[in-house]
């Protein structure tokens, strides 16, 4: 088998190509506060606006000592808000709220471009030093991906963010206060021509058979797949999970390539299918995080994720296309390090279970999926929470792939 496809562009540095290298840090808010204040200053200087924003940003972000009580209060009010708090630094609703407050105190508060500015700076906060690479991923995922972008309600803010990025990348002395709604579409079309060429969108494979390297795998999935699911009655839901606990049906890789939607389970199945086509050994792991599991409520409290690793020259490489906290390609010296990294992104409730999944139970529903995977090989770990978590993987079960 020819493994040359693995030797090209994606092998960049020690950790390969990482779109979103965030670590779990819900015990330290200083990072995001400092970055936010930096971008506040940049925002006013870049967009030449006046501000009456008086309160320091630290006023809006609670110290860890006050976090627990605030979470309890919010759990009573909104499970959605509580989930954003729990998911370690991924609470985009509070960041978006801060950005909107900031802009509402500026001269462009009534301009249609506001949503684009908010989205732009939220992503700069989230991706930080990796923002340029991350924007390429976002662009392919949400613009080049026709499945996603045909859903008009989903692409409005993305269009505006792309316009903001384009105008900043190509300064033209724009008066941000006068941009009207009718200006967005022509500006977006100019931006699309610019970024299609910059990111060489035409080179993204349309078929599995056209995949040449590991970077192609992620670009292929970004262009051809959207987050969502197929229901038991055959309806396709794009970028939403409403009803998934009772109406989900796990698709085969070929079905997913037809509907062009999937959860992390479908993404894992597709990754394994693609790697198998290339003759590459790969493994699927299932992470289940929960406070308690109740089958009678269809495991509504369960947060789960499927991940894929493949072996290359004795190193284990993770391809992540579905989890927003660690998208991209990352290499680990052993599988224990890789599983620990992924688990740290996941572990924010009382209980964590990790299983190695031999075969996904295609055709099952949400409950059956968990029940089937939880009967597979369980992986042990140490540590009481994500801070000192360490997966103990029995390496002797795996052969290295000789390349």
Q: Among 149, 183, 198, give the residue marking a domain's end.
A: 198
Q: What's the first-to-final CA gap in the chain, in angstroms?
A: 9
Instruction: Determine, yes or no, domain membership for 117.
Output: yes
Query: Taking the model in full, what pTM does it have?
Result: 0.79
For 369, the token pair is: 């999926």
Q: What tens digit of pLDDT does each residue of 154-169 get?
A: 577 788 999 999 999 9
Would you say residue 317 has pLDDT above 80?
yes
Based on the domain organization, do 124 and 59 belong to the same domain? Answer: yes
Instruction: Say whether both 191 and 229 belong to one domain.
Output: no
6 within domain boundaries: no
pLDDT exceeds 60 at position 365: yes
pLDDT digits (tens, 9 = 90+) for 190-228: 999 999 999 999 999 989 999 888 888 888 998 899 889
- Summarised one tens digit per residue, pLDDT across range 319-336 is 888 876 667 788 888 899
Judged against a pLDDT cut of 60, whether residue 91 lies above it is answered with no
- Residue 317 counted as domain residue: yes
> 305 lies in a domain?
yes
Instruction: Please list, residue by residue across 26-58, b when 16 or more beta carbons sit within 10 angstroms of its beta carbon and e when fewer do.
Output: beebeebeeebeebbeebeeebebeeebeeebe
For every residue of 130-165, DSSP letters joined together read GHHHHHHHHHIIIII-HHHHT-HHHHHHHHHHHHHH
Q: Residues 146, 258: one domain? A: no
Residues 103-133 have pLDDT tens digits of 766 777 667 788 888 888 888 877 777 788 8
- The residue range of the domain holding 242 is 225-397
* Max Cα distance, the chain (Å): 64
The count of structural domains within the chain is 2
In this structure, the answer to whether residues 156 and 237 fall within a common structural domain is no
Give the tens place of pLDDT for each residue, 223-239.
899 889 999 999 998 87
Buried b / exposed e over 67-84, threshold 16 CB at 10 Å, is eeeeeeebeeeeeebbbb
Domain boundary among 179, 198, 217: 198
Residues 162 and 76 in one domain: yes
Overall average pLDDT of the 4-8 stretch: 35
How far out from the chain centre does Cα 366 lie? 21
The pLDDT score that the predictor gives to residue 33 is 63
Q: Residue 242 has what pLDDT?
A: 84
């Amino acid at each position: 088998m020819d493994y040359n496809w693995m030797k090209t562009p994606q092998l960049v540095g020690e950790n390969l190509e990482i779109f979103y290298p965030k670590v779990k840090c819900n015990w330290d808010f200083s990072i995001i506060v400092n970055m936010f204040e930096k971008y506040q200053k940049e925002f006013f200087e870049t967009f030449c606006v006046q501000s009456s924003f008086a309160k320091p940003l630290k006023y809006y972000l609670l110290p860890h000592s006050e976090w627990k009580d605030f979470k309890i209060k919010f759990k009573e009010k909104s499970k959605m808000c509580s989930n954003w708090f729990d998911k370690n630094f991924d609470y985009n609703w509070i960041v978006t709220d801060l950005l909107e407050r900031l802009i509402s105190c500026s001269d462009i508060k009534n301009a249609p471009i506001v949503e684009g500015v908010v989205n732009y700076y939220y992503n700069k906060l989230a991706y930080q030093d990796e923002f340029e690479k991350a924007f390429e991923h976002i662009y392919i995922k949400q613009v080049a991906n026709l499945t996603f972008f045909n859903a008009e309600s989903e692409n409005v803010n993305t269009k505006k963010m792309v316009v903001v990025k384009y105008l900043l990348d190509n300064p033209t002395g724009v008066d941000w206060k006068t941009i009207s709604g009718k200006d967005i579409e022509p500006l977006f079309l100019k931006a699309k021509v610019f970024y299609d060429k910059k990111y060489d969108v035409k080179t993204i494979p349309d078929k599995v058979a056209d995949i040449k390297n590991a970077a192609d795998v992620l670009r292929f999935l970004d262009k051809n797949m959207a987050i969502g699911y197929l229901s038991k009655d055959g309806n396709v839901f794009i970028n939403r999970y409403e009803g998934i606990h009772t109406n989900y049906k796990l698709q085969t890789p070929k079905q997913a390539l037809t509907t062009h939607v999937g959860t992390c389970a479908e993404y894992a199945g597709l990754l394994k299918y693609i790697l198998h086509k290339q003759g590459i050994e790969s493994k699927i792991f299932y992470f289940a995080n929960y406070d308690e599991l109740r089958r009678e409520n269809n495991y509504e409290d369960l947060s789960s994720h499927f991940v894929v690793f493949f072996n290359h020259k004795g190193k284990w490489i993770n391809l992540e296309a579905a989890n927003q906290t660690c998208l991209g390609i990352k290499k680990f010296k052993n599988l224990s390090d890789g599983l620990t990294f992924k688990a740290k992104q996941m572990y924010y409730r009382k209980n964590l279970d990790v299983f190695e999944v031999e075969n996904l139970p295609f055709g099952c529903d949400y409950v059956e999926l968990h029940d089937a995977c939880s009967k597979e090989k369980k992986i042990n770990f140490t540590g009481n929470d994500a801070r000192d978590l360490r997966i103990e993987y029995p390496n002797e079960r795996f052969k290295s792939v000789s390349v």
